[in-house]
Structure 1
Amino acid sequence: MGIALAEVFAPGEYLRDELEERGWTQEEFAEIIGKSFKQVNELLSGRATLTAPMAQAIAAALDTSPEVWLGIENAYRLAQAEPVSDDIARRAKLRGEYPVRDLQKRGWIPKTKDVEELERAVLAFYQIRSIDEQTPFACAAKRSEYATPLTRIQEAVLLRVRELAQHVQVAAYTERKLRDCLESFRLLMHEPEEIRHVPKLLADAGVRFVICEPFTGSKLDGICTWLDDKSPVIGMTLRLDRIDNFWFVLRHECEHILRADGRDTGFVIDDEVGAILGADLPEAEQAANAAAEEFLVPRKRLEDFINRVGPLFSKTRVVGLALTLGVHPGVVVGQLQRKLQRWDLFRPLLVKVRHILTPVALTDGYGHVIV
């Protein structure tokens, strides 16, 4: 048996009872509170809404508080209002927990105001059955906090990388092919334009390579995942458009593949990987960082350079070291900055590469629209 809710009355009903108890007429009460007869009459008849000044006047005359009368007014108006649709809460939850605006802007889900259609699109994109469910993949490592779940923004980028990778044609993957590919990379590191060969070399080694422009706040640089046991994928966001960051992240992700990181446990995700070099990282991340550092500028060569030249570093000396290593000076600068924690050093040498790479790699974003 249901419980009946108490009937809610307008404040004028309660005021009429108060006036009758005191034996006051409407005219008298209007004179007492300094209001017109019309104002009092309209309030008593329920035709007028109780205002804050009127609540204060009534409270002063009846020795109560304005809050009591305003509370009665609010309760009455809420009781008279039409029930609010559950769609409002559903829309708020969807947009509060998921990057709906960005997903629609990028064309990953349709633009619609219908909450049912919007929810179905979000669930389908995230491959889940309810908006409270976590996207079904595990993470071997991620970001700078490895115990927390992925954010919905990060999940979106990862899922898109995985979707794009399925459309990239590659040869059969073997570890030997990828190691040979790394040796080919060394011949490309002296000039930014040579980066255009990277997607083809990776494809020949059996590695799918895609670029996905990140959403604001995702803070993702590199992604390693596997479509199956024999199909590795490298996704890059290129959000830090610098030659040193590109080569560091690329080599870092290649190391994850060589180690088979993430093959059995899902994604390996690197957040600001170029700057995360602390010893408290998981072993897989430490190994990938160490391999990337050694690949760009061998540690012994970098330390010898710092001990011999520092602190009197100069552009000429940096360029000289780069020539002996066969890499672009920006590659040396990036490693020097990280080693010394001097992010101001020779910044003009950190040339941009995104405009070179996006035209030759499957790219979502940065002006490239994939339907």
Structure 2
Amino acid sequence: MSKLISAKKAVTPELAISLEEVFEVPAEKFLTLQRNLDLAKARIIVRPNPTRALRAKIFADIPVVEMIKRGWINVEDVRDIEAIETSVSNFFGTGSFDQVNSLPHAAKKTDADMPASKAQIAWLYRVRQIATDMLMPAYSEERTKASLVKLKSFLSAPEEARHVPRLLAECGIRLVIVEGLKSSKIDGACLWLDERSPVIGMTLRFDRMDNFWFVLRHELEHVLQRHGMSEPMLDIEIGTEYSTTTEEKLANAAAADFCAPQAKIDSFIARKAPLFPERDFLGLAKILGVHPCLVAGQIQFKTGRYELFRGHLAKIRDHVLPSAIVDGWGDIAPVGVA
């Protein structure tokens, strides 16, 4: 009993029952007292640690480790919370870390029902960082409209995409290709540094010719319509059921018709379904003057039969990256370098 009184011995369930028999007090009461004592002792030993809470908050919301690996923020020790807080605040251009929480509302998403995630906003800020350092003539809407004919001529082969960055630069449009962060599902974005400086950001998350051209033309339509001037247009899973806004429907229609005239595709599907003879498919691509991959992509999307014409899907990333401003796939774009 003396050990119990001096707290040298804890009240166990068995001891609580014995005490119940002696003192005629419910055993649960003794166990509750022991639990409260243990908790009080723990609070004395374990002091509140604001750093622990801040660390949990940072790592739960922001892909800090991935941003460090990608060279977006410079932190030597991931355990240095103060350094991480400062680096993250500097990256997002906020006066304090607490202001980072309001950033998800700083972009207009394809899926307007959900605010952008911190990973999506981080990607968008990286695009802006890189674009700000790019020297470019003022944007010309006239040149951009005229460039669509030239861009259309590039649809015949994957390697022709290497000309895209230069052609857009001549129009005053900055093209920035930044590999997406994990689970961000970003396809592209349209934003403006000022009213004369549009920026197109792309992730190339699908290394496919049809996806590249669809996303590029989608973002170009945003530029031509001057979408994204008040807040960036952040396109997540372009072409899906999430694309319900007027701006997205307009951009999707322009992109689809650019890749392959929709009336021709719809007519082909109506006449050739469900067999879709390959000879007829290749004949349609030849008539349209585009690579079969672009026709295949449209047919797959419209029919939901993604097993069709898979042998004609073409990769494009290796053709685009060498001539573009790129951040990702092992490369870090120079930012702030004189």
TM-score after normalising by structure 2: 0.89
Aligned to 1:174: 140
Query: Residues 69 and 158 from structure 1, CA distance in 2 versus in 1: closer, same or farther, beyond 3 angstroms?
Result: same
- Once the two structures are overlaid, the 10-residue window that deviates more, 345-354 or 87-96, is 345-354
Name the SS of the counterpart of 2:154 in structure 1.
coil
Aligned to 1:325: 288
Q: Distance in 1 between matches of 2:177 and 2:131?
A: 9
Q: Distance in 2 between matches of 1:126 and 1:91?
A: 18
Q: Is the 8 A contact 1:138 1:266 kept in 2?
A: yes
- Once the two structures are overlaid, the 10-residue window that deviates more, 347-356 or 85-94, is 347-356
Equivalent runs, 1:110-259 vs 2, <5 Å:
110-111=74-75, 112=77, 113-133=79-99, 134-135=102-103, 138-139=106-107, 141-144=108-111, 146-259=112-225
Aligned to 1:7: none
Name the SS of the counterpart of 2:103 in structure 1.
coil
Match of 1:143, as an amino acid?
A: T
Q: Distance in 1 between matches of 2:280 and 2:20?
A: 83
Name the SS of the counterpart of 2:176 in structure 1.
strand
Tell me how far 1:172 sits from its aligned partner: 2.8
Aligned to 2:61: 97
- Once the two structures are overlaid, the 10-residue window that deviates more, 93-102 or 288-297, is 93-102
Tell me how far 1:83 sits from its aligned partner: 1.3
Q: Is the 8 A contact 2:110 2:245 kept in 1?
A: no
Q: Is the 8 A contact 2:10 2:34 kept in 1?
A: no
Matched, 1:366 2:333: no
Match of 1:83, as an amino acid?
A: R
Using the aligned pairs only, state the percent identity: 39
Aligned to 1:75: 39
Q: Distance in 1 between matches of 2:156 and 2:113?
A: 39
What is the aligned residue count? 327
Q: Distance in 1 between matches of 2:213 and 2:153?
A: 12
**Which of structures 1 and 2 has the bigger CA Rg?**
1
Matched, 1:290 2:250: no
Q: Distance in 1 between matches of 2:210 and 2:21?
A: 74
- Once the two structures are overlaid, the 10-residue window that deviates more, 193-202 or 127-136, is 127-136
Matched, 1:275 2:243: no
Cα-to-partner distance string for 1:286-332 (whole Å, 9 max, x where unaligned): 11111111111111111221122222203322222111111111100
Q: Distance in 1 between matches of 2:317 and 2:17?
A: 65
Q: Distance in 2 between matches of 1:154 and 1:218?
A: 6
Aligned to 1:46: 7
Q: Distance in 1 between matches of 2:63 and 2:20?
A: 49
Cα-to-partner distance string for 1:119-155 (whole Å, 9 max, x where unaligned): 111112122234443139743x4122x1432221111
Q: Is the 8 A contact 2:110 2:233 kept in 1?
A: no
Q: Distance in 2 between matches of 1:205 and 1:240?
A: 26
Query: Residues 185 and 78 from structure 1, CA distance in 2 versus in 1: closer, same or farther, beyond 3 angstroms?
Result: same
Name the SS of the counterpart of 1:96 in structure 2.
helix
Q: Is the 8 A contact 1:223 1:267 kept in 2?
A: yes
* Relative contact order, higher structure (CA 8 A, sep 6+): 2
Cα-to-partner distance string for 1:50-95 (whole Å, 9 max, x where unaligned): 5666556656665422631431332332243141321111111111
Name the SS of the counterpart of 1:221 in structure 2.
strand
Match of 2:269, as an amino acid?
A: I
- Once the two structures are overlaid, the 10-residue window that deviates more, 250-259 or 358-367, is 358-367
Match of 2:246, as an amino acid?
A: E
Cα-to-partner distance string for 1:96-141 (whole Å, 9 max, x where unaligned): 22221222221211233222221111112122234443139743x4
Aligned to 1:88: 52
Match of 2:45, as an amino acid?
A: A
Give 1:335's match in structure 2, choosing from 298, 317, 329: 298
Tell me how far 1:275 sits from its aligned partner: 3.1
Cα-to-partner distance string for 1:4-30 (whole Å, 9 max, x where unaligned): xxxxxxxxxxxxxxxxxxxxxx4xxxx
Q: Is the 8 A contact 2:63 2:119 kept in 1?
A: yes
Q: Is the 8 A contact 1:208 1:234 kept in 2?
A: yes
Structure with the bigger percentage of helix: 2
Query: Residues 59 and 96 from structure 1, CA distance in 2 versus in 1: closer, same or farther, beyond 3 angstroms?
Result: farther
Q: Is the 8 A contact 1:128 1:136 kept in 2?
A: no
Aligned to 2:71: 107
Aligned to 1:313: 276
Q: Distance in 1 between matches of 2:167 and 2:204?
A: 19
Q: Is the 8 A contact 2:51 2:81 kept in 1?
A: yes
| Unpaired runs of at least 5, structure 1 | 1-25, 27-40
Tell me how far 1:230 sits from its aligned partner: 0.4
Tell me how far 1:176 sits from its aligned partner: 1.3
Match of 1:46, as an amino acid?
A: A
